Amino acid sequence: MGQNIQKTAFTEQDHERFVQRIKADMETLEGLLNTPGWGVGPRTIGAELELYLTDPKGRPARRNMEVLALAKDPLLTEELNRFNLEFNCPYTLCRGRPFEWLGQRIDERLTSLRDLIKPHQLEVTPIGILPTLLAEDFGLASMTDSPRYHALTEILSKRRGGPFQICIQGKDRLVMSTDDMTLEGANTSFQVHLRVNPDEFASWYNAVQLASPFVLALAANSPLFMGHRLWHETRLPLFKQSIDCRNLCRMTWNPPARVSFGKGYVRHSAIELFRQGISLMPVLLPECDDDAGDRPGRGPALKALRLHQGTVWSWNRAVYDDADGGHLRIELRSLPAGPTTIDMLANAALAIGLASALRPQIDRLMDQIPFEFAEYNFYRAGQSGLGADMLWPDQDGVLREMPLDSLMPSLLDQAEEALQEMGIDPAEAQRLMEVHRARLAAGQNGARWQLGCLQALEPTLGRQAALAEMFARYRQHSIEGRPVTEWPCP
């Protein structure tokens, strides 16, 4: 979740100094963006995969630091809760067979990790939300013992002035409250990073925003939480509500949440998103060492700006990276972990391919689909997954609400063609788009499979035992690696 933090409490002087550091960093970044040729380089992609640790019964295992000590792997890091880990997959050029390359790295790491922890009665699985979670699995005892997490939960709770309130309505209804942010750690994702040149950032970012609802609907894999059937991608409301430090009863205006789809399309430059992050979001962690001096091959560190932006959790986020002299990336944060590596790669390929296909027509599309309607699509995709209706221009250019399955065949063809035009091997582009075509044909993605399996098992086993049995089957199918459309449902 970002830079290391050493303190858990901060003074007024810390805040004043940090604000000055952010202002200086913003001036530096604006200067870089106005420098001809800065940040220009080959397009690359990378990913972060968050994982669940469980015991043989499928219950969360609070042992992430033990596993990290065993693995001694710099690409594995801790996450907020002690039953989660993150694998940081290296970057690769976005041409040829990059998704196959990423898949090999992910499978190698998952296989080695499973072999390493099996003697310790531990299992590791990619899934958006672990279906066997109970209320007793959360609280400070579940939080990784890191100053960053202690500081965040204390500051967010203090700003809110009371418990965090969760209210999610799906087929069931979940209402609960919590005094800390550990419910956020129930969400695990497959975060894709795409490097883009600064002069192309606006068109890429806006196209990613428009493409995200379609990808999310096909990728949904988080329909269950605390034994409740909620959204097909329950991570969306759970993440937003579990760290929402706004207390709207005490405010005379409605400030934006720290987790959001955004506040509008980007007009010209990435700098707009960084400015919004500073002007709309109060500083949470005002701790930052002085930037290092000149470092060969790297751009300015901009530590204060990057630390602050790391506490603004937009579903699609602008990222400044100091590597390679400094450059910009778009971080796609809405995709869930799992069910299998091939499913996640297909999701990433569709997100990038569809965004690339929409870019040439982005100005027209932004006129036809005002931002609030793009946002509407995003949350309807999270609620209903494959069953979502989407607002999209028809053949006459008129905005209409249409079923997802009527829109996707054409969009998948466009995405496949765009991937090939980007330099992706045609066989790889076709293979990954066929994963989505199969989902549409079968009417099955991760969320649909989990819900269908639960429905079949619950009458004889009861809800909790059915959830455990369903997850055991999910885990076995995930290890076998066949896409979720091929998983049998009892």
Q: What is the pLDDT of residues 70-122, one digit of tens each?
A: 999 999 999 999 999 999 999 999 999 999 999 999 999 999 999 999 999 99
Q: Looking at 341-432, which runs of residues are DSSP E strands?
A: 389-393, 399-403
Q: Identify the pLDDT of residue 8.
A: 67
Q: Identify the pLDDT of residue 1.
A: 41
Q: Identify the pLDDT of residue 249.
A: 57
What does 130-154 look like in DSSP terms, one character per residue?
Answer: -TT--GGG-SGGGB---HHHHHHHH
Residues of the chain with pLDDT under 70: 1-8, 247-253, 290-294
Contacts of 156 (CB under 8 A, 6+ apart): 164, 181, 243, 245, 284
Cα–Cα dist 128/124, whole Å:
13
Tokens 């669940």 correspond to: 52
Q: Identify the pLDDT of residue 7.
A: 67
Q: Identify the pLDDT of residue 255.
A: 76
Tokens of 237: 């409301």
Backbone φ and ψ of 51, nearest 5°: -135, 155
Cα–Cα dist 466/229, whole Å:
13
pLDDT in tens, 289-305: 766 666 788 999 999 99
Cα–Cα dist 275/372, whole Å:
20
Q: Identify the pLDDT of residue 292.
A: 61
Torsion of CA 328, 234, 474, 81, to 10 degrees: 70
Answer for the pair 242, 295: CB distance below 8 angstroms, yes or no.
no
Contacts of 31 (CB under 8 A, 6+ apart): none
Nearest one of 163, 203, 155 to 15, comparing CA atoms:
155
Cα–Cα dist 45/352, whole Å:
10
Nearest one of 148, 437, 442, 122 to 310, comparing CA atoms:
148
Cα–Cα dist 205/374, whole Å:
13
3-state helix, strand, coil in the chain (%, to 5): 50, 15, 30
Cα–Cα dist 344/338, whole Å:
6
Q: What is the pTM of this model?
A: 0.95
Cα–Cα dist 389/376, whole Å:
10
